[in-house]
Amino acid sequence: MTLMLDPEVCYGALQTKHTRFDGQFFVAVYTTGILCRPIGSANAPQRQDCTFFLNAAAAQGRGFCPCLRC
Ligand SMILES: [Zn+2]
């Protein structure tokens, strides 16, 4: 099964922090400019502040910086 990059699914994953989503996608937060693993952030950002990427390189190409904590 391939994870579709559905924002609602991704945001749900952020909230559950289930480890099965680790490595499946990355979340970038507009307000901070930081790119995180889905299980990394302590608190889920606001839905409207999030965008999702299948890989870190794509997000960095859009100007997001990798999170130093995860
Ligand atoms: Zn992080």
How far does the centroid of ligand 1 lie from the alpha carbon of residue 6, in Å? 20
How far does the centroid of ligand 1 lie from the alpha carbon of residue 26, in Å? 10
pLDDT tens digits for 23-56? 899 999 999 999 999 887 667 889 999 999 999 9
Predicted pLDDT at 1: 40
CATH number at residue 57: 3.40.10.10
Residue 2 domain-assigned (yes or no)? no
Residue 17 domain-assigned (yes or no)? yes
The model's pTM: 0.85
How far does the centroid of ligand 1 lie from the alpha carbon of residue 28, in Å? 9
How far does the centroid of ligand 1 lie from the alpha carbon of residue 51, in Å? 14
Assess whether pLDDT exceeds 80 at residue 11.
yes
The residue-averaged pLDDT of 13-22 equals 89
Listed in sequence order, the residues at least 6 apart from 28 whose beta carbon sits closer than 8 Å to its beta carbon are 34, 35, 36, 50, 51, 52, 53, 59, 62, 64
How far does the centroid of ligand 1 lie from the alpha carbon of residue 1, in Å? 26
Domain count for the chain: 1
